[in-house]
């Protein structure tokens, strides 16, 4: 009995996590990898999807989405990481084509168009001083895969809309330059969420506790998803 109790208390087994691709990339280095180093007997299975899924019906233990997209019947742990979109281009592209000063200026530029999981073309969102605008950009390429978009923007094909965390290294190295900074507001933070359960496994409890310590956040309930709320990952890179 002591051996059985010891095995039950030691985090082990598989945890299945469903996340938007951008969300998975954001938590991978500071949450998932450190957790695996601390708990080597746990296996984490991450599935990335652009659409919003029912994690219970899909057989997942946890989900990661923007806080404003977490269903109301879930327990949510805000991860507290500041997030924002950035518009970027290479120095050579900007030298050749100029720097856009307002979102409307993008109509004069070649941009990397992004197809959402539902098939629609993503309109780039901007906001400043209470004014919101969505731009239907034009360009020579339409993509739905982040690594291809990063390769294209670094090749000076055009401007790209990206998550800041995805291109921070390129910006700091000078390979990419941010434009329209005053038009790209802070986004809703990420939340780790899950259904209430009576007998969570040791691995599940360990992961939630680890996430809480890493983020310094407390558990809160989120509002329900409205009928007009987007249900796709609109951050292309």
How large is the average pLDDT for residues 21-42? 94
Backbone region of residue 59 per phi and psi (left: phi > 0; alpha: psi in -120 to 50; beta: other values) = left
Position 232 scores a pLDDT of 39
Give the C-alpha distances (Å, rounded to integers) separating 39 from 12, 35, 176.
8, 6, 37
* Residue 167 CB contacts under 8 Å (≥ 6 apart), including other chains: 86, 88, 150, 176, 237
CA dist., res. 153 & res. 143, Å (int): 12
- 32 backbone dihedrals φ, ψ, rounded to 5°: -70, -50
When the pLDDT of each residue in the chain is averaged and rounded to a whole number, the result is 87
How large is the average pLDDT for residues 33-62? 95
Position 6 scores a pLDDT of 46
Query: With b meaning 16 or more CB within 10 Å and e meaning fewer, what string describes 141-165?
Result: eebeebeebbebbbebbbbbbbbbb
CA dist., res. 237 & res. 164, Å (int): 9
CA dist., res. 173 & res. 185, Å (int): 23
Q: Residue 41 pLDDT more than 70?
A: yes
Q: Residue 218 pLDDT more than 50?
A: no
pTM of the model: 0.75
């Amino acid at each position: 009995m002591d051996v059985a109790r010891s095995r039950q208390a030691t985090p082990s087994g598989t945890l299945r996590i469903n996340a938007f691709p951008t969300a998975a990339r954001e938590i991978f280095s500071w949450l998932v990898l450190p957790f695996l180093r601390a708990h080597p007997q746990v296996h984490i299975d991450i599935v990335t999807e652009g659409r919003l899924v029912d994690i219970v019906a899909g057989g997942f233990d946890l989900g990661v989405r923007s806080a404003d997209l977490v269903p109301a019947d879930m327990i949510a742990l805000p991860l507290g990481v500041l997030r924002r979109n950035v518009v970027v281009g290479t120095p050579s592209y900007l030298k050749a084509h100029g720097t856009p000063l307002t979102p409307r200026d993008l109509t004069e530029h070649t941009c990397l168009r992004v197809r959402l999981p539902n098939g629609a073309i993503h309109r780039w969102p901007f906001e400043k001083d209470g004014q919101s605008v969505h731009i239907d950009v034009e360009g020579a390429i339409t993509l739905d895969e982040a690594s291809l978009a990063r390769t294209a923007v670094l090749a000076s094909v055009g401007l790209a809309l990206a998550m800041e965390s995805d291109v921070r290294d390129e910006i700091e190295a000078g390979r990419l330059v941010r434009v329209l900074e005053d038009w790209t507001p802070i986004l809703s933070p990420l939340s780790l969420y899950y259904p209430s359960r009576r007998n969570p496994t040791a691995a599940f409890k360990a992961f939630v506790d680890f996430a809480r310590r890493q983020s310094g956040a407390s558990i809160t309930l989120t509002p329900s998803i409205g009928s007009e709320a987007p249900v796709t990952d609109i951050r292309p890179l």
